[in-house]
Amino acid sequence: MKLLLCSALLAGVSLGQVTPAPLKPAAMGASPTEKVRPVQQPVNPRPPDDGPSAAAQCLSFAQQAFGLAHSAYRQGKVSANEAATWSLRIYEAQKDDPGAAKQHLDRMVALERLAKERNQQGDAPMLDVMTIGFCRAQAEQLAGKK
């Protein structure tokens, strides 16, 4: 009877050791016999956000900022260069669109007209007229005009 009881105990102990716990890799500084618990992965990982793409966000911000800068320039709160810079950023965000250069040129022509008006009224320096003239000429190059 004692022999049967001892055999059953030994069998139970050896069954518990059939599947050893995973080991931490030695590269992580563990000894080869150190036991660690496996990292649990989430059952249903959260899918990535399906919001607007980075390119769409860039275009949206540039369009909004140009509108603000243009209005602020009209009121004399920013330089013409700031509005021109945001127009160029709109162009860069949509330059794969065949009409992007023409739209940028149209914005620069209108901004140049505004800069000249403001200069004639004494509300803007000649530097604004020259800056926007440069930007308009640059936009003409982008649009393929001479």
Q: Is residue 29 part of a domain?
A: no
CB distance 73 to 120 below 8 Å: no
pLDDT per position as a tens digit, 37-75: 666 665 666 666 778 999 999 999 999 999 999 999 999
Q: Please check whether residue 4 lies inside any domain of the structure.
A: no
135 lies in some domain: yes
CA distance 21 to 15: 13
Give the rounded distance of the alpha carbon of 140 from its chain centre. Answer: 29
The per-residue pLDDT for range 16-32, each reduced to its tens digit, is: 444 455 555 555 555 55
Q: Does residue 21 fall inside a structural domain?
A: no
Residue 133, amino acid? G
Residue 78 located in a structural domain: yes
- Summarised one tens digit per residue, pLDDT across range 78-94 is 999 999 999 999 999 99
Describe the crossing of helices 80-93 and 126-142 by its angle, rounded to 10 degrees: 10
Whether residue 63 is contained in a domain is answered as: yes
Q: How many structural domains is the chain composed of?
A: 1
The amino acid at 34: E
Q: Is residue 135 packed enough to be buried (19+ CB in 10 Å), middle (13-18) or exposed (0-12)?
A: buried
- Residue 145: is its pLDDT beyond 60? yes
Structure-token pair, residue 76: 């004399």
Domain boundaries, position 99? 54-142
CA atoms within 13 A on the CB side of 114: 21
Query: Does some domain include residue 92?
Result: yes
pLDDT of residue 43: 65
Q: Which residues pair with 23 in a beta bridge?
A: 35
| pLDDT score at 6 | 47
Provide the 8-state DSSP code for 26: G
Residue 39 φ/ψ, nearest 5 degrees: -75, 130
For 75: left if phi > 0, alpha if psi spans -120 to 50, otherwise beta; the answer is alpha
Q: What φ, ψ does residue 73 adopt, rounded to 5°?
A: -65, -40
Give the list of residues 6+ apart from residue 113 with CB closer than 8 angstroms, or none: none
Q: Is 99 part of any domain?
A: yes
